[in-house]
Chains A and B, each alone.
Chain A
Amino acid sequence: MEAGTPQAVKLEDLHVPGQLSGRKHILSILVENKPGVLARVAGLFSRRGFNIDTLAVGPTDDPSVSRITLTLDGAVHPIDQVTKQLHKLVNVLKIRDMEPEETVAREMALFKVSSAVENRAEIIQFAEIFRAKIVDVARRTMTIEVTGSADKIEAFERMVRPHGLVEMVRTGEIAIGRGHD
């Protein structure tokens, strides 16, 4: 008898592993840098009814390869099915479902906040607390750059929203695996 194969298999002992993880997933996808590749990935998501929460695309250290980082909700979508469908795209080279504990994830956001004289100090203070940068100041607005996890950006949004959020731009998360010693 070989290791790993049981002597006999009882049908009642067989189970299907759960499909929904219940948490947010970050998929890091390496794709060939060819025309239409983003349309293929995006089209697959819409066609299969998978909702993308965020999407970020950029070059890698190899000019023939691009990276797509996307986040989606594992409470709604079977991530395994999503990655298997993605793998069927010929231009998709590699997919990593990033382990939260093993991953550094960051997102950048720009907030344009209305800043009358009386609340300007408070907004500057928020920016300091969140280690954000003020990148533009005008007579009625201030623009603040925040970098961090999606949670941090959402927290900052909650703080400044009461002061009048004129506009917000977010990049979507990007992620990289932690180094190992």
Chain B
Amino acid sequence: MESLQAEGVKDVFGIPGGANLPTYDALYDADFRHVQVRHEQGGGHAAEGYAKASGRVGVAFATSGPGATNLVTAIADAMMDSTPTVFITGQVRTELIGTDGFQEADILGATLPFVKHSFAVTDPRQIPEYVHEAFHVASTGRPGPVLLDIPQDLSRADIDYEPRTEPVELPGYKPSTEGNIKQIRIAAKALASARRPIFYTGGGVINGNASEELRELGGSDRFPVTSTLMGLGAFPASHEHWLGMLGMHGTWTANQAMDKADLIVAIGARFDDRITGKLDEFAPHAKVIHIDIDPAEISKNVGAHIPIVGDVKQVLPKLTREYRALQTDSSRLDEWWSALNGWQEAHPLYYDPGKDGEIKPQFMIEALRRASQGDAIITSDVGQHQMWTAQYFGFEKPRRWINSGGLGTMGFGLPSAIGAKVACPGEEVVCVAGDGSLIMNVQELATCVSEQIPVKVFLMNNGYMGMVRQWQELFWDRRYSSVDMGSSPDWVKLAEAFGAKGMRCDDSADLEEQMLAALEHDGPVLLDVRVAREENCYPMIPPGSAARDMVEAPRAVR
């Protein structure tokens, strides 16, 4: 506990059980907040939401066995999205390890593929050292989850805690942060000779707290900027250089720009398959500058012509300085911008507004933007609603968009909203949920009520697992297999049963007003928004296709 306090921990999420009773006993007197979640997965996602909203390390506790295995999805999620988190699990007593004891699970072994690092405590004196190392590894370099597994007998041992004075030194762990200046100079010169450059930025810019630095670099010339799902908010959506998100459900312009670019500057992004589509046909004309803190990301999926390994916060200002020093004539980009503007005009985001009163899901996100004045932390689950939020909300600031990108974990939205609200109590926190997803961790409404965490859940309810239904419609001949969610539950009654406020909206004319009422209510709210059932999310690059094969929403003939 003292080690955690020394790390500046203010809040943790978790559930007690047999093997972590000593920890919870110490927690009784400890000087930080413990949020008692209702399922360990919820605690894990809450820790992630906490970390993503604040940049501080998120911490979750679980007991041994099922408590620990319930954390696995959250750990894998944090790994995929490079979220700085520390998971502390109880383990059975030392003499029971390996005997299939009650509530024993080899959580260290089970999570090896999903952790940045993990520690198994074998001596109580290791605990303070490992705690500090865990926080160091989780929060530096490319952030990620660290697991600390402590057998019950060792966590109750009495040891003298001595505050650590030395910085953590791990001989096998030395992230390089500065970026090779020669490579940066070459990159600046490549930028100067590019006629069709594009900045493709990712979650690394947000994790690296480098939004300001990105804006500076983006402002050093008329460089167009696109971003992955994870990078939204690092560059303001209202900026004239902003092309919108790229990838499977990105904008037409951003994807065309990648396809036609002669130079891609990848910043804290990893060329995921949802970005590249068919790898062989990805960006066929482009040379690649790849800036990333993780050397293993360089040339993993797409070969880098100019690799720069370093912390974006340190590298970007150097690149800006070197580029400015070249005093390049920006008129070379005129032709590129006229192409980009042409695409933007011909292929904007579009949806059919629908019948009178009908709530189109895209309209719901636009209404949310107006109701919140764009100033809220938005979390989401995974699916159509997530993509529509990414497309239509227009994020202006970093750490305002919290979702599960890499692992794509349904049920992420509500618990991560809890974490975000605990981290940033002064901010409005809205979870845009899908009805398929919300039910997966709906038990956390109890946490919101009992811990007085006033998050607002705006449920985009179409009665389907919508994204799967969309794929079945488009690629599986409309054979809707196990995607209809039926009419259960009654979400308003469910919210009320938990002690939260339940609301329902099925008329587009009332939506914004109801959202405002929900935002003004001082406790947790679940607003069940009945949206058009079979709306599809467009534009879309069909899976395994190239960017130029993007499909747009069919235009309504009126």
- Interface set, chain B 245-284, CB cutoff 8 A to A: 262-263
- A119 in the interface, Cβ–Cβ < 8 Å? no
Contact between chains at B172 and A4 (CB < 8 Å): no
- A97 in the interface, Cβ–Cβ < 8 Å? no
B171 contact set on A, CB distance < 8 A = 32, 93
**Min CB–CB distance B65 → chain A (angstroms):** 19
A15 contact set on B, CB distance < 8 A = 305
Contact between chains at B194 and A90 (CB < 8 Å): no
A32-B172, A93-B172 given; A5·B182 CB < 8 A: yes
Cβ 8 A contact of A35, one of B120, B137, B186, B192: B120
**Min CB–CB distance B197 → chain A (angstroms):** 10
A6-B189, A14-B305 given; A39·B296 CB < 8 A: no
A15 and B305 CA atoms in complex are apart in Å by 5
A90 and B145 CA atoms in complex are apart in Å by 13
Spot the interface stretch: B31-39, B109-117, B398-406. Answer: B109-117
A35-B120, A43-B113, A84-B296 given; A9·B137 CB < 8 A: no
- B22 in the interface, Cβ–Cβ < 8 Å? no
**Min CB–CB distance B72 → chain A (angstroms):** 15
Cβ 8 A contact of A90, one of B173, B185, B295: B173
A36 contact set on B, CB distance < 8 A = 108-109, 112, 118, 120
Contact between chains at A8 and B300 (CB < 8 Å): no
B189 contact set on A, CB distance < 8 A = 5-6, 8-9
- Interface set, chain A 105-156, CB cutoff 8 A to B: none
A178 contact set on B, CB distance < 8 A = none
Contact between chains at A19 and B186 (CB < 8 Å): no
A47 contact set on B, CB distance < 8 A = 113
Contact with A along B105-137 (1 / 0, CB 8 A): 000110011001110101000000000000001
A5-B185, A8-B189 given; A87·B303 CB < 8 A: no
Contact with B along A1-40 (1 / 0, CB 8 A): 0101110111100111001000000000001100110011
**Min CB–CB distance A105 → chain B (angstroms):** 25
B194 contact set on A, CB distance < 8 A = 11
Interface size class of A (residues with CB under 8 A): 20 to 34
Contact between chains at A8 and B192 (CB < 8 Å): yes
- B193 in the interface, Cβ–Cβ < 8 Å? yes
B300 contact set on A, CB distance < 8 A = 81
Contact between chains at A90 and B117 (CB < 8 Å): yes
- B80 in the interface, Cβ–Cβ < 8 Å? no
- B304 in the interface, Cβ–Cβ < 8 Å? yes
A11-B190, A19-B303 given; A89·B172 CB < 8 A: yes
Contact with A along B371-408 (1 / 0, CB 8 A): 00000000000000000000000000000000000000
A4 and B183 CA atoms in complex are apart in Å by 10
A2 contact set on B, CB distance < 8 A = 182, 185
A8 contact set on B, CB distance < 8 A = 189, 192-193
- B294 in the interface, Cβ–Cβ < 8 Å? yes
A78 contact set on B, CB distance < 8 A = 299
Contact between chains at B170 and A90 (CB < 8 Å): yes
- Additional A-B contact list (17), CB under 8 Å, known A11-B263, A16-B305, A85-B296: A6-B189, A8-B189, A9-B189, A9-B193, A11-B193, A11-B194, A11-B262, A15-B305, A16-B304, A32-B171, A35-B120, A35-B122, A40-B112, A88-B116, A88-B294, A89-B117, A90-B173
Closest 3 CB pairs of A and B: A16-B303, A9-B189, A84-B296
Jot down 8 A-B pairs with beta carbons below 8 A, ordered by A. Answer: A6-B186, A9-B189, A9-B192, A11-B263, A16-B303, A36-B120, A81-B296, A85-B296
